[in-house]
Structure 1
């Protein structure tokens, strides 16, 4: 049996295309939705969600293709486009009675959150992003040997077949290497939680690759169209990230400000899995955002 967030109720809510998302729901008050990253599940928010539930309705789903949510077969780029996954989240919130909500995302979930903010500004009141840059900018800032840090992006961008077989052949080693390399505090992801992440990822190789493949294709097309049309994030936005700008030679705050005029950009010394390594810092950033 998979682990759960104590005190939260679990529901399955179907999107318009029939894909059902597994979601933990807890607390009362204004709603906030928390979206997980790779190679994790909704469980990465367990500390933050428990704190926020003191005065908010907190909704913590597994993204389509991850955890206990449905994993539809890839049928063209739209199946795992961030536009499709963002529509899942808006539909999930509406199914729980929330037409407008705050939204926070980490890693892959952050890319879904950005797309939700761009496509559904009437639904997203506040937006928090943890440790990514927008999809289009991500590809633009990766270059030369520095791009080796993101080798998995290039592997999973390949056509269906080879990347799925390669990863499935050594799934625990593949997903585990990110859990090891991207954290500065290994104790932040205790053994049972790590095993849950590995189990869930091992069972979702095909859909995880499809998610990443979309980010090298249709997601870039959608971002380019928004950039050309001047579509930006209209809500207050907080970005918390490691100093990737210094590491890769770009101005991270400027990249985000081009998309989000009302921006609070923060750097952290925590590792990539900051919601588990420094949940108090993440909670403070979210509460500061919600007060804007």
Structure 2
């Protein structure tokens, strides 16, 4: 696949950014999750780049991007600054559509609910990555809680506690995790992936995403209201993020859309054509151009 590779400076770090598609087309920015790099978007890029200007980047600590020297560098605020920097470098002042998967979606909520990109994000498609503030607020609201759904999500989230253990997750990744990852993806997601030379780096650095943000946001949720229209793509067989985390959010999002699909967490690899079609439909609804049409539909 042919794309242009850029090095974009965000604070004291250089980020690797990959751009393809017609230069004058509407831009879509893709933000990947854990333990991936921007390479996880390649099947989806192939579906979108004939119609859109597709921009993906290795988040800090992953792929070919620099890594912060301290845990604080992985907090949501600098992650949102990275997105703004990448958008400014690749889109100029143009509005863009945002798509996030897993931690890419979690960190994108900081931008979708913050002021820096207010008016710039034309739409946000969230795949398997809730806003931590919304999750924490809902867990404290008895009217929003379902005992069954709450228990199911706690069971799904066992790995979050494991990732906070000192040194143990690092040992797991170094000793067996990297070699076992393609086998796990094949068994759990029915997806064949090639070994990634950066997999160990992605996995070890990405642990800091959990440690820098998760329990802090759960203990101290903030009122976060979205300034862009939101679509949730909700895989019903997601082993990590339950469907209940994307319901009952009208007070923060206003009217929003949900699309439950018969798929697992890494549906962006398993069925990129379906995800591209869903993104395209939602983006077309919120295009700045009134005459937008969609070949994918």
User: In structure 2, what is the Cα distance between the partners aligned to 1:176 and 1:255?
Assistant: 35
Give the match's secondary structure for 2:17. strand
Give the match's secondary structure for 1:21. strand
User: In structure 1, what is the Cα distance between the partners aligned to 2:203 and 2:242?
Assistant: 32
Deviation, 1:170, is 2.9
Conserved 8 A contact 1:90-1:123: no
- Which residue of the partner structure matches residue 67 of structure 2? 71
Q: Which of 26, 30, 33 in structure 2 is aligned with 1:34?
A: 30
- Which residue of the partner structure matches residue 53 of structure 1? 49
- Listed one character per residue, the Cα deviations across residues 198-253 of structure 1 (whole Å, up to 9, x for unaligned) are x322123431111111232444467x12x2xxx311211110012379x9987444
User: In structure 1, what is the Cα distance between the partners aligned to 2:42 and 2:90?
Assistant: 20
Conserved 8 A contact 1:21-1:69: yes
Give the match's secondary structure for 1:204. helix
Q: TM-score, normalised by structure 1?
A: 0.81
Question: Which contiguous aligned blocks of 4+ residues in structure 1 show a shift greater than 6 angstroms?
Answer: 247-250
Aligned residues: 270
Map 1:121-270 → 2, pairs under 5 A: 121-138=118-135, 140=139, 144=151, 147-158=154-165, 161-172=167-178, 175-176=181-182, 179-180=185-186, 182-183=188-189, 185-186=190-191, 189-190=192-193, 192=194, 195-196=195-196, 199-220=197-218, 224-225=221-222, 227=223, 231-243=224-236, 251-270=244-263
Deviation, 1:175, is 4.2
2:90 counterpart of 1:96:
yes
Q: Which segment drifts farther, 279-288 or 200-209? A: 200-209
User: In structure 2, what is the Cα distance between the partners aligned to 1:168 and 1:269?
Assistant: 33
- Which residue of the partner structure matches residue 19 of structure 2? 25
Deviation, 1:258, is 3.9
- For structure 1, the residue ranges without an aligned partner over 5 or more in a row are 1-5
- For structure 2, the residue ranges without an aligned partner over 5 or more in a row are 140-144, 286-297
RMSD: 2.8
